[in-house]
Chains A and B, each alone.
Chain A
Amino acid sequence: DSGVTQTPKHLITATGQRVTLRCSPRSGDLSVYWYQQSLDQGLQFLIQYYNGEERAKGNILERFSAQQFPDLHSELNLSSLELGDSALYFCASSVVPGVQETQYFGPGTRLLVL
Protein backbone atom coordinates (compact mmCIF):
# COMPACT_ATOMS: atom_id res chain seq x y z
CA ASP A 1 0.00 0.00 0.00
CA SER A 2 1.60 3.25 -1.19
CA GLY A 3 -0.53 5.47 1.03
CA VAL A 4 -2.07 7.22 -1.97
CA THR A 5 -5.81 6.65 -2.27
CA GLN A 6 -7.99 7.05 -5.33
CA THR A 7 -11.75 6.88 -5.69
CA PRO A 8 -13.65 5.40 -7.31
CA LYS A 9 -11.81 2.23 -8.31
CA HIS A 10 -14.05 1.67 -11.32
CA LEU A 11 -16.25 4.00 -13.30
CA ILE A 12 -18.54 3.16 -16.21
CA THR A 13 -20.22 5.99 -18.04
CA ALA A 14 -21.52 7.01 -21.43
CA THR A 15 -20.09 9.23 -24.14
CA GLY A 16 -20.73 12.91 -23.58
CA GLN A 17 -20.85 12.59 -19.81
CA ARG A 18 -18.66 14.19 -17.16
CA VAL A 19 -16.87 12.41 -14.33
CA THR A 20 -14.65 13.40 -11.41
CA LEU A 21 -11.77 11.30 -10.16
CA ARG A 22 -10.46 11.91 -6.68
CA CYS A 23 -7.00 11.45 -5.19
CA SER A 24 -5.69 11.78 -1.66
CA PRO A 25 -1.89 11.98 -1.46
CA ARG A 26 0.29 10.33 1.13
CA SER A 27 0.40 12.11 4.45
CA GLY A 28 2.93 14.93 4.19
CA ASP A 29 3.14 14.91 0.40
CA LEU A 30 2.54 18.29 -1.21
CA SER A 31 2.75 17.40 -4.88
CA VAL A 32 0.20 15.44 -6.90
CA TYR A 33 0.58 14.07 -10.41
CA TRP A 34 -2.02 12.61 -12.76
CA TYR A 35 -1.15 9.99 -15.38
CA GLN A 36 -3.24 8.20 -17.97
CA GLN A 37 -2.56 4.62 -19.04
CA SER A 38 -4.28 3.50 -22.22
CA LEU A 39 -3.62 0.68 -24.65
CA ASP A 40 -2.67 2.92 -27.55
CA GLN A 41 -0.90 5.78 -25.73
CA GLY A 42 0.83 3.92 -22.93
CA LEU A 43 1.53 5.76 -19.67
CA GLN A 44 1.32 9.52 -20.15
CA PHE A 45 1.72 12.42 -17.77
CA LEU A 46 -1.28 14.71 -17.64
CA ILE A 47 -0.75 17.39 -15.03
CA GLN A 48 1.06 18.21 -11.76
CA TYR A 49 0.04 20.29 -8.77
CA TYR A 50 2.19 21.45 -5.93
CA ASN A 51 0.63 22.85 -2.76
CA GLY A 52 -2.49 23.93 -4.60
CA GLU A 53 -0.81 25.46 -7.62
CA GLU A 54 -0.50 24.00 -11.09
CA ARG A 55 3.17 23.18 -11.66
CA ALA A 56 3.37 21.41 -15.02
CA LYS A 57 1.10 20.30 -17.84
CA GLY A 58 1.56 17.36 -20.14
CA ASN A 59 -0.68 15.79 -22.73
CA ILE A 60 -3.91 16.85 -21.08
CA LEU A 61 -6.90 17.51 -23.30
CA GLU A 62 -8.83 20.75 -23.02
CA ARG A 63 -11.87 18.69 -21.98
CA PHE A 64 -9.92 17.64 -18.90
CA SER A 65 -9.18 19.82 -15.90
CA ALA A 66 -7.79 19.31 -12.43
CA GLN A 67 -7.30 21.12 -9.17
CA GLN A 68 -5.68 20.61 -5.80
CA PHE A 69 -7.57 21.72 -2.74
CA PRO A 70 -6.27 23.29 0.51
CA ASP A 71 -6.33 19.87 2.20
CA LEU A 72 -4.06 18.71 -0.67
CA HIS A 73 -6.44 16.22 -2.18
CA SER A 74 -6.85 16.55 -5.93
CA GLU A 75 -9.61 16.01 -8.42
CA LEU A 76 -9.38 15.29 -12.13
CA ASN A 77 -12.47 16.31 -14.08
CA LEU A 78 -13.12 14.69 -17.44
CA SER A 79 -15.94 16.12 -19.55
CA SER A 80 -17.59 15.44 -22.93
CA LEU A 81 -16.24 11.94 -22.62
CA GLU A 82 -15.33 9.97 -25.72
CA LEU A 83 -14.72 6.27 -26.21
CA GLY A 84 -11.00 6.95 -26.45
CA ASP A 85 -10.95 8.34 -22.91
CA SER A 86 -11.36 4.82 -21.55
CA ALA A 87 -8.19 4.21 -19.59
CA LEU A 88 -6.63 3.68 -16.20
CA TYR A 89 -6.02 7.01 -14.49
CA PHE A 90 -3.30 7.12 -11.86
CA CYS A 91 -2.58 9.67 -9.24
CA ALA A 92 0.90 9.85 -7.74
CA SER A 93 2.25 11.98 -4.94
CA SER A 94 5.62 13.13 -3.64
CA VAL A 95 6.87 15.26 -0.79
CA VAL A 96 8.09 18.15 -2.90
CA PRO A 97 9.15 18.23 -6.51
CA GLY A 98 12.89 18.23 -6.35
CA VAL A 99 16.10 16.38 -6.09
CA GLN A 100 15.12 13.63 -3.69
CA GLU A 101 11.58 13.27 -4.88
CA THR A 102 10.13 9.84 -5.59
CA GLN A 103 6.59 9.50 -6.83
CA TYR A 104 4.32 6.92 -5.21
CA PHE A 105 1.30 5.77 -7.14
CA GLY A 106 -2.25 5.16 -6.08
CA PRO A 107 -4.18 2.06 -7.21
CA GLY A 108 -5.76 3.90 -10.13
CA THR A 109 -9.30 4.54 -11.34
CA ARG A 110 -10.41 2.41 -14.25
CA LEU A 111 -12.68 4.43 -16.53
CA LEU A 112 -14.81 2.76 -19.17
CA VAL A 113 -16.73 4.99 -21.58
CA LEU A 114 -19.49 3.20 -23.47
Chain B
Amino acid sequence: AQTVTQSQPEMSVQEAETVTLSCTYDTSESDYYLFWYKQPPSRQMILVIRQEAYKQQNATENRFSVNFQKAAKSFSLKISDSQLGDAAMYFCAYRSVRTSGSRLTFGEGTQLTVNP
Protein backbone atom coordinates (compact mmCIF):
# COMPACT_ATOMS: atom_id res chain seq x y z
CA ALA B 1 0.00 0.00 0.00
CA GLN B 2 1.09 3.51 -0.69
CA THR B 3 2.00 5.86 2.14
CA VAL B 4 2.51 9.61 2.21
CA THR B 5 4.58 11.37 4.86
CA GLN B 6 4.74 15.05 5.70
CA SER B 7 7.45 15.47 8.29
CA GLN B 8 6.73 19.12 9.11
CA PRO B 9 3.60 19.44 11.29
CA GLU B 10 3.98 23.23 11.32
CA MET B 11 5.80 25.84 9.27
CA SER B 12 5.84 29.60 9.33
CA VAL B 13 6.89 32.23 6.80
CA GLN B 14 7.02 35.99 6.60
CA GLU B 15 4.69 37.67 4.17
CA ALA B 16 6.34 38.06 0.73
CA GLU B 17 8.95 35.41 1.53
CA THR B 18 9.30 31.90 0.10
CA VAL B 19 8.55 28.67 1.95
CA THR B 20 8.94 25.01 1.00
CA LEU B 21 6.74 22.24 2.37
CA SER B 22 8.10 18.69 2.26
CA CYS B 23 6.40 15.46 1.28
CA THR B 24 7.74 11.96 0.74
CA TYR B 25 5.84 8.91 -0.39
CA ASP B 26 6.32 5.23 -0.76
CA THR B 27 5.02 3.22 -3.71
CA SER B 28 5.99 0.30 -5.89
CA GLU B 29 4.18 1.76 -8.90
CA SER B 30 6.03 3.54 -11.68
CA ASP B 31 3.18 5.76 -12.78
CA TYR B 32 0.98 7.79 -10.48
CA TYR B 33 -0.21 11.29 -9.65
CA LEU B 34 0.71 13.60 -6.81
CA PHE B 35 -1.29 16.51 -5.49
CA TRP B 36 -1.12 19.34 -3.02
CA TYR B 37 -4.40 20.39 -1.43
CA LYS B 38 -4.92 23.42 0.75
CA GLN B 39 -7.38 23.48 3.66
CA PRO B 40 -7.98 26.99 5.03
CA PRO B 41 -9.88 27.63 8.28
CA SER B 42 -13.14 27.17 6.37
CA ARG B 43 -12.09 23.48 6.10
CA GLN B 44 -12.76 23.43 2.35
CA MET B 45 -10.28 21.23 0.46
CA ILE B 46 -8.83 23.22 -2.44
CA LEU B 47 -6.60 21.75 -5.12
CA VAL B 48 -3.36 23.70 -5.36
CA ILE B 49 -1.30 21.76 -7.89
CA ARG B 50 -0.92 18.32 -9.46
CA GLN B 51 2.03 16.44 -10.91
CA GLU B 52 2.02 13.44 -13.24
CA ALA B 53 4.84 11.05 -12.40
CA TYR B 54 5.63 10.41 -16.07
CA LYS B 55 6.39 14.10 -16.60
CA GLN B 56 9.92 15.21 -15.80
CA GLN B 57 8.98 18.88 -15.80
CA ASN B 58 7.91 20.24 -12.43
CA ALA B 59 4.38 21.61 -12.29
CA THR B 60 3.81 25.32 -11.69
CA GLU B 61 0.67 27.27 -10.87
CA ASN B 62 1.33 30.99 -10.44
CA ARG B 63 3.18 31.37 -7.09
CA PHE B 64 3.06 27.63 -6.40
CA SER B 65 5.57 25.19 -7.80
CA VAL B 66 6.74 21.71 -6.97
CA ASN B 67 10.09 19.97 -6.85
CA PHE B 68 9.37 16.40 -7.92
CA GLN B 69 12.23 13.96 -7.36
CA LYS B 70 10.92 10.60 -8.56
CA ALA B 71 13.94 8.52 -7.59
CA ALA B 72 13.93 9.96 -4.11
CA LYS B 73 10.11 9.76 -3.92
CA SER B 74 9.99 13.35 -2.84
CA PHE B 75 7.39 15.96 -3.77
CA SER B 76 7.86 19.36 -2.14
CA LEU B 77 5.71 22.46 -2.58
CA LYS B 78 7.28 25.89 -2.91
CA ILE B 79 5.18 28.96 -2.25
CA SER B 80 6.74 32.19 -3.49
CA ASP B 81 5.80 35.71 -2.40
CA SER B 82 3.71 34.28 0.45
CA GLN B 83 0.44 36.04 1.18
CA LEU B 84 -1.71 36.12 4.28
CA GLY B 85 -4.33 34.13 2.39
CA ASP B 86 -1.89 31.26 1.99
CA ALA B 87 -2.21 30.45 5.68
CA ALA B 88 -3.79 27.01 5.82
CA MET B 89 -3.21 23.31 6.34
CA TYR B 90 -1.52 21.80 3.32
CA PHE B 91 -1.95 18.14 2.42
CA CYS B 92 0.15 16.12 0.04
CA ALA B 93 -1.76 13.31 -1.68
CA TYR B 94 -0.99 10.31 -3.89
CA ARG B 95 -3.19 8.64 -6.47
CA SER B 96 -2.60 5.54 -8.51
CA VAL B 97 -3.26 5.69 -12.25
CA ARG B 98 -5.12 2.39 -12.12
CA THR B 99 -8.84 3.07 -12.60
CA SER B 100 -9.57 0.72 -9.74
CA GLY B 101 -7.29 2.71 -7.48
CA SER B 102 -8.46 6.28 -7.84
CA ARG B 103 -8.57 6.95 -4.13
CA LEU B 104 -6.38 9.70 -2.74
CA THR B 105 -3.93 8.78 0.01
CA PHE B 106 -3.12 11.82 2.12
CA GLY B 107 -0.23 12.80 4.33
CA GLU B 108 -0.72 14.11 7.84
CA GLY B 109 -0.67 17.74 6.76
CA THR B 110 1.51 20.79 7.41
CA GLN B 111 0.00 23.83 9.11
CA LEU B 112 1.38 26.95 7.45
CA THR B 113 1.34 30.28 9.27
CA VAL B 114 2.03 33.49 7.36
CA ASN B 115 3.32 36.33 9.51
CA PRO B 116 2.66 39.94 8.44
Convert A84-100 into 0s and 1s, putting 1 for each residue whose CB lies closer than 8 angstroms to a CB of B. 00001010101001110
- Across the interface, A88 reaches (CB within 8 A) one of B43, B103, B105, B109, namely B43
A44, B106: Cα distance in complex, Å: 7
How many B residues touch A, CB cutoff 8 Å? 21
Nearest residue (CB) in A for B109 is: A42
How many A residues touch B, CB cutoff 8 Å? 27
Convert A45-63 into 0s and 1s, putting 1 for each residue whose CB lies closer than 8 angstroms to a CB of B. 1001000000110100000
B46 → A minimal CB distance (Å): 8
Chain A residues whose CB sits within 8 angstroms of the CB of B16 once the complex forms: none
**Does B102 sit at the interface, judged by CB under 8 A?**
yes
Consensus secondary structure, chain B interface: mixed
Task: Give 7 nearest A-B pairs by CB, closest first.
Answer: A105-B45, A97-B102, A43-B106, A45-B103, A97-B99, A98-B99, A107-B44
Chain B positions near chain A (C-beta within 8 angstroms): 35, 37, 42-47, 50, 91, 97, 99-106, 108-109
Q: With A33-B103, A45-B105, A102-B35 given, name 12 new contacts (CB 8 A).
A: A31-B102, A43-B91, A43-B109, A45-B103, A55-B102, A56-B101, A90-B45, A97-B99, A101-B102, A105-B46, A107-B42, A110-B43
Can you spell out 27 A-B residue pairs with CB atoms less than 8 angstroms apart? A2-B44, A31-B102, A33-B103, A42-B106, A42-B108, A43-B91, A43-B104, A44-B106, A45-B105, A48-B102, A48-B103, A56-B102, A56-B103, A90-B45, A92-B104, A97-B100, A97-B102, A98-B99, A98-B102, A101-B102, A103-B47, A103-B104, A104-B47, A105-B45, A105-B46, A107-B44, A108-B44
